[in-house]
Amino acid sequence: MVSLTFYGGVNEIGGNKILLEDGGTRVFIDFGQPFNFGSGFFTGYLAARGINGLGDYFEFGLVPRLKGLYAAEQLTFTDVSYAKPKFDAVFLSHAHFDHVNHIQFLDPQIPVYLGVGTKLFIEVMEKTSGFCNYREHPYQMFRTGDKLKVGSILVEPIHVDHSIPAAYGFLIHTSEGTIVYTGDLRAHGPRKDMTGEFAEKACASEPVALICEGTRMVEKEKRKNYSEDQVKKLSGAVVSTTDRIVFVARYSRDMDRFRTFYNVAKKSGRQIVVSPKTAYLLSRLVEDRRLDLPDPSKDEHILVYYKRKRSGEFDERDYYIWEREFMDKMVVHESVRKNQRKLVMDLNLYQFAELVDINPDSGSHFIHSMSEPFSEEDIEDQVMHNWLDHFGMCFHQFHASGHMNRQQITDLIGYIKPKRIFPVHTENQHLFKKKFDTAQTTEREKEYKL
Ligand SMILES: [Zn+2]
């Protein structure tokens, strides 16, 4: 008997936690944190207490109360007693927070299966973010096309294109047929061929069920979305026609977008300035040659920006050890100001205070290469525009989404032809239902038998 239980990712974008059981085999597909995690009960300084393990989260039903899943120290102050693992594995589709972040709570004895690149990402997050600790697990790394046997199931990860490298969908062969999981995916990115390959293999497996993401399954899309190629052309036009500095804000781990701006800078004879964090991430990702990314220590088009810290003298001792690696590529606010016309610089909202030191010439450019705000009252958006106005900067919104749009999802489902559909990672499962008779509404913590 095969069943699926959705402990997260239902009627919400992100936070996927899907339990698949086949006889005695029990595995989780993704174990992420919802974007609005705990926001109904915690705000500002009112935060869940780390010291209380999972206690504060259990109180409000924010994390499932399951025995044999969590690390002993997470349960010390809770009414769930520790038990040896009753779960065989967790499979991670990609390294986004909303798919991986709650593995921090898991019993370290539970094996975690993940892509080679995903492992690199989580190691970098642990090293550079200060608040990630995913613990020692028996980590099993995979590549596309591998076949991973766990109990009575066989899992085949197939690469897909998404806004982070090393993203996968899964074909899960069970005793009652194949269940396909899309993970997060798109068909308009630089590696749409990978999504195509996934779709073909998914179709050929004649799946009994499709667990399908629906981030952009919306009635009417209000926000502008471009392809990666369009982002490159539009940004290229801005950079090549100005003699001012161009700042760009992008998601820190979207390496396609990094590559886009790197190429735009290079083509117009500029250098790209990145943070030590991005330099460190690149220095690790070059280990995976398939990702085809430049080495920040060797590439002459990359410079690394060091903020003024404690001593004010850019002394080595002011920086973390992992940050020091790139000090021979160092630029500081003064050199950025002097060389404005020769630079494209990564700068997200949280680093805007650097603008006070850099003091860019009026008429400089800022390309916002991330999602547009969800509402017009978005406070961060207002703050961002206040800064841009203050420094007389021109604003541009160029972004390519990491997800398929409604038509593409509909086409994908039509092509794969699953017997049943379980929409996840969406707020609009009724739109799946509208189009496909077989669509199954999923409900949190309810078990669905195949
Ligand atoms: Zn994602």
| Chain segment 413-427, per-residue pLDDT in tens | 999 999 999 999 888
Among 56, 85, 60, which residue's Cα sits nearest to residue 70?
A: 85
Single-letter amino acid, residue 289: R
52 Cα to the center of ligand 1, angstroms: 29
Average pLDDT over residues 428-438: 78
pLDDT at 280: 97
Single-letter amino acid, residue 366: F
Average pLDDT over residues 370-385: 88
Average pLDDT over residues 365-380: 88
402 Cα to the center of ligand 1, angstroms: 7
96 Cα to the center of ligand 1, angstroms: 5
pLDDT at 447: 84
Alpha-carbon distance of 190 to 253, in angstroms, equals: 15
162 Cα to the center of ligand 1, angstroms: 7
414 Cα to the center of ligand 1, angstroms: 23
Provide the β-strand partners of residue 331.
305
391 Cα to the center of ligand 1, angstroms: 33
| Chain segment 382-415, per-residue pLDDT in tens | 999 999 999 999 999 999 999 999 999 999 999 9
Asked if the model's pLDDT at residue 219 lies above 90, the reply is no
| Assigned token pair, 337 | 């100001």
Rounded to two decimals, what is the model's pTM? 0.94
State the DSSP code for 372.
Answer: P
| Chain segment 254-305, per-residue pLDDT in tens | 999 999 999 999 999 999 999 999 999 999 999 888 888 999 999 999 999 9
374 Cα to the center of ligand 1, angstroms: 18
pLDDT at 118: 95
Among 155, 153, 135, which residue's Cα sits nearest to residue 144?
A: 155
Q: How many CB atoms lie within 10 A of CB 431?
A: 19
| Chain segment 35-72, per-residue pLDDT in tens | 889 999 999 999 999 899 999 999 999 999 999 999 99
Alpha-carbon distance of 362 to 340, in angstroms, equals: 11
Per-residue pLDDT band for 434 (boundaries 50, 70, 90) equals: confident
Which residues touch 187 (CB under 8 Å, ≥6 apart)?
A: 161, 195, 196, 404, 408, 412
94 Cα to the center of ligand 1, angstroms: 7
Q: Where are the domains of the chain?
A: 2-219+402-449, 228-397
- Radius of gyration (C-alpha) of the chain in whole angstroms: 23
pLDDT at 401: 94
Arithmetic mean of pLDDT over the chain: 94
Position of tokens 């070059």? 286
Per-residue pLDDT band for 439 (boundaries 50, 70, 90) equals: low
Helix, strand, coil distribution of the chain in percent, nearest 5? 30, 25, 45
100 Cα to the center of ligand 1, angstroms: 10
- Domain 228-397 indexed as CATH 3.40.50.10710: yes
Alpha-carbon distance of 270 to 274, in angstroms, equals: 13
Alpha-carbon distance of 248 to 235, in angstroms, equals: 9
Residue 208: helix, strand or coil by DSSP? coil
| Chain segment 78-116, per-residue pLDDT in tens | 999 999 999 999 999 999 999 999 999 999 999 999 999
pLDDT at 223: 80
309 Cα to the center of ligand 1, angstroms: 33
184 Cα to the center of ligand 1, angstroms: 5
76 Cα to the center of ligand 1, angstroms: 32
321 Cα to the center of ligand 1, angstroms: 30
pLDDT at 438: 65
Asked if the model's pLDDT at residue 317 lies above 70, the reply is yes
Domain at 2-219+402-449: CATH architecture = 4-Layer Sandwich (3.60)
pLDDT at 151: 97
Among 382, 362, 365, which residue's Cα sits nearest to residue 373?
A: 382
Average pLDDT over residues 199-206: 98
Percent of the chain with pLDDT over 70: 99
437 Cα to the center of ligand 1, angstroms: 27
Which residues touch 55 (CB under 8 Å, ≥6 apart)?
A: 49, 77, 78
